[in-house]
Amino acid sequence: MVRYRRNFLPGGTFFFTVTLDDRSSSALTDHIGLLRAAFRGTRNLKPFAIDAIVILPDHLHAIWTLPEGDVDFSDRWRRIKGAFTRGVVATGVSVPRDHRGEYALWQRRFWEHTVRNDQDLERCTDYIHFNPVKHGLVSSPVAWPFSSLHRYVRAGVLPRDWGGDGRAANTANFGERAG
């Protein structure tokens, strides 16, 4: 059995991938208001900074920075997933249950990477912002509505045409390590 090891760095910055159990689902974008509410509610109880985020139909990527001395990103994800699931169920959407009788909307685990330095942060942020193009959802990163790229553009951190117009989508390597 695989042993999952988490890097619990107090006040650290982390890149996450969190995925729905049904990869053909579009629940995250179909219920974006519920997802935003789940994030808000969790951040009110257990603060953290969202440095970058993209919400795709069946998964999301995010970079968080935890408060100084805090290492508990797992509980935050548990709260977000639980609040979102309860919200979706409350709308009347049928959500399957697993063999334990628990709702099986999300994959049980999530992927986490400790951001090590500014270059790593930039690479992870670029990956997040280009991800909707990578998945063929849009031809230009700015065309995807559920992305922190819009915040970066408003703040003048990135230009509106960052990531191009899609013509280079098949060759662009935003956020990917050179092989």
Q: What is the pLDDT of residues 128-148, one digit of tens each?
A: 999 999 999 999 999 999 999
Percent of the chain surpassing pLDDT 70: 89
CATH number at residue 65: 3.30.70.1290
The domain total for the chain is 1
Residue 176 domain-assigned (yes or no): no
Average pLDDT, the chain: 91
Q: Is the pLDDT of residue 1 over 70?
A: no
Query: Does position 179 have pLDDT exceeding 50, yes or no?
Result: no
Residue 146 within any structural domain of the chain: no
> CA distances (Å), 161 to each of 119, 152, 156, 164, 170, in order?
21, 12, 12, 6, 17
Kindly state whether residue 55 falls inside one of the protein's structural domains: yes
Is 3 inside any structural domain?
Answer: no
Residue 53 lies in a domain: yes
Most confident stretch, 1-10, 38-47, 162-171 = 38-47
Q: Are 104 and 98 in contact (CB under 8 A)?
A: yes
Handedness of CA 65, 6, 54, 160 (dihedral sign): positive
Taking the CA atoms of 67, 59, 57 and 82 in sequence, report the sign of the dihedral they define. negative
Asked if the structure places residue 167 within a domain, the reply is no
Residue among 60, 54, 57 at smallest CA distance from 130? 54
> Is residue 5 included in any domain, yes or no?
no
Q: What is the pLDDT of residue 9?
A: 87
Return the structure tokens found at 155.
Answer: 């703040």
Asked if the structure places residue 144 within a domain, the reply is no
Identity of residue 124: C
Residue type, 34: L
Judged against a pLDDT cut of 90, whether residue 152 lies above it is answered with yes
* Band of pLDDT at residue 168, cut at 50, 70 and 90: very low
Question: What integer is the mean pLDDT of 67-93?
Answer: 97
Q: Are 38 and 83 in contact (CB under 8 A)?
A: yes
* CA distance linking residue 163 with residue 29, whole number of Å: 22
Residue-number span of the structural domain to which 82 is assigned? 13-115
